[in-house]
Each structure stands twice: as structure tokens, then as C-alpha cells.
Amino acid sequence: MLANGAKPFCGGENTMLNANIIGEKITAARKARGYSQAQLGELLSVSPQAVGKWERGESMPDILLFNTLANVLGVDLNYFSDRTAPETGFSAAPEERVQQSGEKDNIDDPIKADTDDEAEDTYEDGGFEDGGGEFGKGFAFHGRHGRDFDGADFSATLGESIKDTVKNAYKAASARLNMGSSAWRDSDFSGLKNTNGRFSYSDIDDCLFVGADLSKSAFKGNSVEDCDFTNAVLEGSKFLFTGIKNCTFKGGDLTQAEFKMTSVLKNNFSNVKFKSTGIKTCTFNGNTLSGAVWDKTTFSFSQITNEVFEGDMTECAFIDCDYKNVEFKNVNFKDCFFKNVKLKRVVFTNCTADAITYAFLKNTKADLTGVSLTENR
């Protein structure tokens, strides 16, 4: 920590900066371009208050915003290093550059990078969370499109430019995707892979995730409606306090997925793998389940309504669930467990069960005229 309480921007004896120095440089460059704080904020898609905090040294821009900021202010990224005085390093204002070069300045599209690998998206100021005392170590960065860099090390070594630091940040972005706290509508994310994605507190509506690899994704407090997850892999994903409605998961993989306190309404789960999947304290209502694979699946403390279960059920468990308008049709039960349930109103049609499963079913007072006992093997 510096004596004045400001946090350094990046490590290295000759490159260490603090928020006050960054703020002075932003102020000088902004005034040289003739922008107000509000105008600069509009160009960067951030609030005037955010710009004001930067200039007062109270906070700093997101690391991924520096490329945009440099383009808007007409400076090189290295302008933000301590080797450049605040009053130097400016290029001509946009209007002057048009006159000098005959080419329009890239103000309308400030994120356009010098090279493709330096920037891929426009990021707005999301702030950062202090996690360790030094900027660049132990911080969590949150960009406009939700990329998250929790725990990443952005400290620059001696002689490394700010531009290199930004490029490294974009490389880190591909390692973990954070799509949380956002609204995603009518977008095509098909083929998205290896994201370890976090979607919590987002509204996801009418989006395509066809063939996406969303393994170990976290959905918490979401509204997910009218989305297509056909052939998507959601292995090990967790759904908590989430509403999933009118979505298609055909051919998908929900192996070891966990659903808790979640409403699962009118979705298409045809040919989906429910292997070692847990469904606890959920509402499971009106879904299409034809061809689904039920293997070590557990339903517990859930409301199951308007469902038709079909196919093989192996080592599945139904614990303390309520049933309404439920049918098991052409189901082959093997080593399944039913506890503390009353299945009087559940319909069994052309089903088979091994002796253990049959014994548990008898204890539920179910009408088993549609269940044939198979021989033990």
C-alpha cells in the first residue's frame, strides 16, 4: 500500500502506478480532447460518476477498458505508464485527425483494437473488488460481457507495457466466462465450449445453446425461458432458485446435475441423460420425457405433476415426493427405491419391476395391476 493510501496499478520498479496518477492522466487527456466527463462516459458506456471517480483517484477503470480508453482519448496504451507525463502523449483531436489524414477517427467504434488479439468485445466499467491489497493480484474484474478474472495475476514485469497487460487479460478471459447478472435475449451461443460458465441472476430468454459445452455451470436465481439446449452438455451443472420454462434439452447430458428449489416447467427432455442427477425440493411439471435415460436419478421432496415417465429406470429413488396426474408407462424398474410416498393416484401402464422395487412400490399403496414382477437375476 502506498503512503497516500492509493493502490498501485501494476508491479515492477519502473512501472508501478497508482489510482491518483491514472486519474491525472485521464483528466489531462480528456481536457486535451475537449470532452466533458459526461461525454467521455458516453463514449465508454460508463456513467459520468465513474469517470469522476477515476479522475479523483477513488477507483480505476476495468483493466479491459484501457484499450478503449486509449482509443477514445487518442493516446497509446503506454501513456498510462509512469514513463509518460500527463500533459504529453496526446494525438490530435478527432476533427483534426480527419483533416490531417482524410480518414475518420474511430470514435464511433472506440473498441476497435490495433490487432484482433488485443480486443474482442466492448467492456463497460464494472469496477473491481479488492482481494489482496495490490491491483493486479487478488482482484476480481467484471466486464461488460461478464468475463470474470477472479484471482488472475495482471501484474506487469519490468519493461512490460500496459498493452501487453491488456492482451494477457483477454487471454485470461477465455479461461472462465461469467454471464451472470445480465439479460441475454435472442442470442446464439451455440457451440460455446469449456466455459465453466456462471449464469447466476441472469434472465436468459429465447437463446440458442445448441451443442454447447456448459459443464459445471452455475445457475442461481435465473429465469430461463424458450431456450434451445439441444445436444448441450450440462454435466455437473447446478440449478438453484431458478425457473426453467419452455426450453428444449433434446439429446442433452445432465449427468450429475443438481436441481434445488427450482421450477422445471414444460420443457423437452427427450433422450436426455439423467445419470446421477439430483432433483430436490423442485416443481417438475408438464415436461416431455420420452427416451430419457434414468440412471441413479433421485427425486426428493419435490412436486411432480403432469408427467409421463418412460423407458428404463435403474437405481433411481423417489423420496418424500408429491404426485399429481403422473404415469409410469412402459417403464422397466430395476433396484429402484420409493420412500414415504403415496402412489394411489399414480398410473402404472405396462411396466416391469424386480422384486426389490416391487416391494417398495407395494408399500406405497400403489395400484400395481400394470406392473409385472420380473425374475431376480
Mean pLDDT to the nearest integer, 269-276: 97
Residue scoring higher pLDDT (159 or 243): 243
Residue scoring higher pLDDT (30 or 180): 30
- Cα separation, 222 vs 239, whole angstroms: 8
Q: What is the pLDDT of residue 30?
A: 92
Take residue 140 and report the three cell numbers written for it: 476480481
- Cα separation, 86 vs 73, whole angstroms: 12
Q: Where in the chain is the domain with CATH 1.10.260.40?
A: 1-117+157-175
Residue 212 pLDDT greater than 60, yes or no = yes
Q: 253-281 burial, b for 16+ CB within 10 Å, e for fewer? A: bbbbbbbbbbbbbebbbbbbbbbbbbbbe
- Cα separation, 7 vs 13, whole angstroms: 15
Q: What is the pLDDT of residue 349?
A: 96
Q: Where in the chain is the domain with CATH 2.160.20.80?
A: 183-373
Q: What is the pLDDT of residue 319?
A: 93
Maximum Cα–Cα distance across the chain: 90
What is the full DSSP assignment across 293-313?
A: EEES-EEES-EEEEEEEEEEE
For the domain spanning 1-117+157-175, the CATH number is: 1.10.260.40
Take residue 245 and report the three cell numbers written for it: 420454462
Please answer whether residues 215 and 232 qualify as being in contact, where contact means their C-beta atoms are separated by less than 8 angstroms: no
258-260 and 278-280: which strand pairing?
Answer: parallel
Residue 72 pLDDT greater than 70, yes or no = yes
Residue 220 pLDDT greater than 70, yes or no = yes
Q: What is the pLDDT of residue 179?
A: 81
What is the full DSSP assignment across 158-219?
A: TT--HHHHHHHHHHHHTT-BB--SSEEES-B-TT--S---B-TT-EEES-B-TT-B-TT-EE
Q: Worst-scoring range by mean pLDDT, 38-52, 67-81, 264-278, 345-359?
A: 67-81
Q: What residues form DSSP beta bridges with 178?
A: 198
Residue 172 pLDDT greater than 70, yes or no = no
- Cα separation, 271 vs 253, whole angstroms: 9
Q: What is the pLDDT of residue 344?
A: 84
Could you tell me which residues come within 8 angstroms of residue 283 by beta carbon, excluding any fewer than 6 positions away? 262, 263, 264, 265, 302, 303, 305
Q: What is the pLDDT of residue 208?
A: 95
pLDDT digits (tens, 9 = 90+) for 18-46: 788 888 999 999 999 899 999 898 888 78
Q: Worst-scoring range by mean pLDDT, 178-182, 250-254, 323-327?
A: 178-182
Helix (H, G, I), strand (E, B) or coil at 25: helix
* Torsion on CA atoms 151, 178, 79, 106, rounded to nearest 10: 170
Residue 360 pLDDT greater than 60, yes or no = yes
Q: What is the pLDDT of residue 89?
A: 55
Q: What residues form DSSP beta bridges with 218?
A: 198, 238
Residue 286 pLDDT greater than 50, yes or no = yes
| Burial tier of 349 (Cβ tally within 10 Å: 0-12, 13-18, 19+) | middle
pTM attached to this predicted model: 0.56
Query: Which amino acid appears at position 119 of this protein?
Result: A
Q: What is the pLDDT of residue 153?
A: 41
Helix (H, G, I), strand (E, B) or coil at 68: helix
Domain 183-373 fold: Pectate Lyase C-like (2.160.20)
How far is the CA of 215 from the CAs of 50, 89, 253, in angstroms? 35, 46, 9
